[in-house]
Structure 1
Amino acid sequence: MRDTAPPKQLAFDLPLDPRYGAEDFLVSPSNEEAYALIEAWPDWPDTVFLLRGPAGSGKSHLASIWATRAQAWTVSASEVNDTNVAHLISNGALVVEDVDREAGRDEAALFHLLNLARERRFPVLLTASAPVDAFGLRVADLRSRLRLAPGAEIGPPDDALMKAVIVKLFADRQLGIDTSVVDALALRIDRSLARAREVVAELDRDALGRRRRITRPLALAVLDRLGEAGAPEEDTEDDAEA
């Protein structure tokens, strides 16, 4: 007998770039202190600020918002070296990402950059995931300078923020989603905005490939496959829509 079932739809992996505009940043108790720091620009009491928070908490998003306002260049800490410090401070403002990463980090160059920033009133926003004492710094003067740097810390996303981010991620893909799906995802995935982005993308691909709408049972099945907490529940809904 001829199989008349519709063919499985191909799901092309076309990831959406993260949106780092000010209008895309969602404020919650976990990040409001850091957001207030960025909003206070240019009325900062110092030239060097340290923005700290766990991976996926929104540090790069806030740094991007500030860079746009301050017309700052953005580099990783590993890109700062003794041959380009003068060039980096020539722009007038700078974001240095991931100063806690040891790979490729030139501590002497970073210390020189921060000294010049203070002398010339040149604003520098630093980002890091770990506390200063966990950076593994060998240059004591740099460690001391960073300990004294004012700044703000972002906490892990709270429930309200996770749910709002998940809704927005689906909306960015022009997908309406039931609150039961949002609740299931927010409850089970790692508290990371980056992880929320990955899971929503995977769910979109899975639903498109299966030609099914996104339901709570489907979401739980995808989470189970991705190794997130919680097991898939029996799908009692008729969600095999084309």
Structure 2
Amino acid sequence: MTGASPRQLTFALEGSPRLSAEDYLVERSNAPAHALVTSWPNWPSRAVLLYGQPGSGKSHLAAIWAEVAGARIATAAQLREADIAALPAGFQLAVEDIDSADVHEEVLFHLLNTAREREGWLLLTSATEVTASWPRIRDLSSRLRAMPRADLSAPGDELVRAVLVKLFDDRQLAVDVEVIDYVARRMERSIGSARRLVAELDQEALALGRGITRPVAAAVLARLSIGED
């Protein structure tokens, strides 16, 4: 998100991209999570949890829900007791990265209790499964385990190619299908990696004053330590 829009709390991340529903590509790996998020307000509970590795699309789904529900977005590490105390009845809030090392578990547990008391709506995201070591607060662990959830697995080949095509198109870059296939087979399987890779390819092509060819792609892949087969 950029700026300080009415749908952001003061502790929302600056500079995060606003991602629309139209930009989200649905396929087998993310369909259950997409279906859960977009079924609001007919969720099975007032709080839901999304699991997925970095770059799997959790933030994009959170942004989609925020747009539809008029929700605010924050990172869990930025939550403070005063912020939670100021939440109105029936609030809608997406809280990302609840498994971050900087998160105060007591504050997160207070948020869950506040949502229950004030009938608020919560969408939480995490890259970590609930385990015996996380969270350390047992009641918080129990609440997270009982929460309706959806997993975002690594994207399949079709989605990776579609994302690459869209990202290149967004930058008005003409890239041969063969180059896209070459990159798709060798890149890390995440949407976040695709965004980073396309940005690097764009910069490399500009620096060289040439189009994005297979050698250019190979050089960028190697530099990013994504590697080749």
TM-score range, shorter chain: 0.7 to 0.9
Question: Which deviates more, 56-65 or 186-195?
Answer: 186-195
What amino acid does structure 2 have at the position aligned with 1:150?
Answer: P
- Measure the CA separation in 1 of the matches of 2:38 and 2:160: 22
SS of aligned partner of 1:88: coil
Question: Which deviates more, 55-64 or 83-92?
Answer: 83-92
Question: Which deviates more, 145-154 or 76-85?
Answer: 76-85
Aligned pair 1:226/2:219, yes or no?
Answer: no
In the superposition, relative to structure 1, how do residues 135 and 75 fare at CA in structure 2: closer, same or farther (>3 Å)? farther
Q: Deviation digits for residues 25-56 of structure 1, max 9, x if unmatched?
A: 01111000000011211111211100111110
| TM-score in terms of structure 2 length | 0.88
| TM-score in terms of structure 1 length | 0.83
CA contact (8 A) 1:88 1:94 kept: no
Structure 1 match to 2:140:
142
Structure 1 match to 2:97:
98
SS of aligned partner of 2:180: helix
Structure 2 match to 1:113:
111
Question: Which deviates more, 110-119 or 149-158?
Answer: 110-119
Give % identity: 49
CA contact (8 A) 1:30 1:154 kept: yes
Structure 2 match to 1:50:
49
C-alpha displacement at 1:89, in angstroms? 4.5
C-alpha displacement at 1:215, in angstroms? 1.4
Structure 1 match to 2:123:
125
- Measure the CA separation in 2 of the matches of 1:226 and 1:113: 38
What amino acid does structure 2 have at the position aligned with 1:80?
Answer: L
Aligned pair 1:28/2:50, yes or no?
Answer: no
C-alpha displacement at 1:91, in angstroms? 6.9
Which runs of 5 or more residues in structure 1 are unaligned? 1-15, 232-242
C-alpha displacement at 1:106, in angstroms? 2.0
Question: Which deviates more, 145-154 or 222-231?
Answer: 222-231
CA contact (8 A) 1:72 1:91 kept: no
Task: After the TM superposition, list the runs of 4 or more consecutive aligned residues in structure 1 that deviate by more than 3 angstroms.
Answer: 16-19, 88-91
Structure 1 match to 2:152:
154
- Structure ID, larger Rg: 1
- Measure the CA separation in 2 of the matches of 1:46 and 1:31: 20
Q: Deviation digits for residues 70-89 of structure 1, max 9, x if unmatched?
A: 11111111122222212134
- Measure the CA separation in 1 of the matches of 2:52 and 2:159: 15
Q: Tell me which of 177, 180, 186 is aligned to 2:178.
A: 180
